[in-house]
């Protein structure tokens, strides 16, 4: 079940490029050992150490953390300096790469959301309308709590890297890093 959820999340994330050529789907997550997934969730502090099972939302969060981990660690290192507070060793293993924790992911999401809001406002989306932007395919860039959605994170990341990407205002006006193509 977890493999299916993570596979669907990876495919959805890969296709959320905001109206460009379709990206090659990321390889499906291999069937994982339940004990290994539990260990990783405990290490990343998604679950309490005595919690023996996870909910679908926990599996979705694990997938999001895994997909954002490399960018999140680099971003946090640049933004706040040391990432040690936002990472943890694998349970029982002090050596090896540290894992981004749930708290680290939330810290990353907070900072990247603030930067994205500033970016979109600078690009012409008024402060009042920035939270209502959508990608080229109509998916919201920010959720009801004002945080970047996976689609929003993809659009902002591509924009930050100066790659071709487009977004729409609530009135349907198209913006982008390149001249927007004809409306479809």
Give 6 or 56, the one with higher predicted confidence: 56
pLDDT at position 45 over 70: yes
How many distinct structural domains can be found in the chain? 1
pLDDT tens per residue across span 74-104: 999 998 888 889 999 877 766 778 899 999 9
Nearest C-alpha neighbor of 108 from the set 144, 152, 77, 142: 77
In a domain, 184, yes or no: no
Which residues lie across from 87 on neighbouring strands? 100
Give 19 or 66, the one with higher predicted confidence: 66
Mean pLDDT of the chain: 81
Distance CA 115, CA 90 (A): 30
Q: How confident is the model at residue 128 (pLDDT cuts 50, 70, 90)?
A: confident
First to last CA, the chain: 37
In a domain, 44, yes or no: yes
In a domain, 91, yes or no: yes
pLDDT at position 26 over 90: no
* Residue 183, pLDDT score: 59
In a domain, 80, yes or no: yes
* Residue 159, pLDDT score: 94
Which residues lie across from 83 on neighbouring strands? none
- The residue with tokens 């930067």 is 115
Write 63-68 long-range contacts (CB < 8 A, 24+): 63/5, 63/6, 63/9, 63/10, 63/29, 64/9, 64/105, 64/150, 65/100, 65/102, 65/105, 66/6, 67/9, 67/10, 67/13, 68/100, 68/105, 68/108, 68/153
3-state secondary structure 89-135: CCCCCCCCCCEECHHHHHHHHHHHHHHHHHHHHHCCCCCCCHHHCEE
* Residue 83, pLDDT score: 87
* Residue 60, pLDDT score: 92
Structural domain for 165, as ranges? 2-176
In a domain, 75, yes or no: yes
Q: The whole model's pTM is what?
A: 0.74
Average pLDDT rounded to a whole number, residues 130-139: 92
∠ CA 48-54-56, nearest 5°, is 135
In a domain, 41, yes or no: yes
In a domain, 151, yes or no: yes
């Amino acid at each position: 079940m977890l493999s299916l959820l993570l596979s669907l999340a990876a495919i959805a994330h890969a296709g959320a490029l905001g109206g460009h050529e379709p990206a090659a789907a990321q390889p499906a997550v291999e069937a994982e050992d339940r004990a290994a997934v539990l260990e990783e969730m405990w290490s990343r502090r998604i679950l309490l150490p005595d919690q023996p099972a996870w909910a679908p939302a926990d599996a979705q969060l694990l997938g999001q953390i895994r997909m954002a981990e490399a960018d999140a660690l680099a971003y946090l290192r640049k933004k706040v300096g040391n990432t040690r507070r936002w990472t943890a060793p694998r349970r029982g293993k002090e050596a090896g790469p540290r894992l981004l924790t749930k708290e680290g992911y939330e810290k990353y999401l907070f900072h990247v959301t603030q930067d994205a809001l500033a970016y979109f406002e600078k690009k012409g989306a008024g402060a009042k309308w920035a939270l209502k932007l959508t990608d080229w395919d109509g998916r919201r860039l920010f959720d009801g709590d004002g945080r970047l959605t996976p689609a929003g994170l993809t659009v902002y990341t591509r924009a930050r890297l100066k790659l071709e990407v487009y977004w729409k205002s609530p009135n349907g006006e198209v913006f982008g890093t390149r001249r927007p193509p004809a409306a479809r």
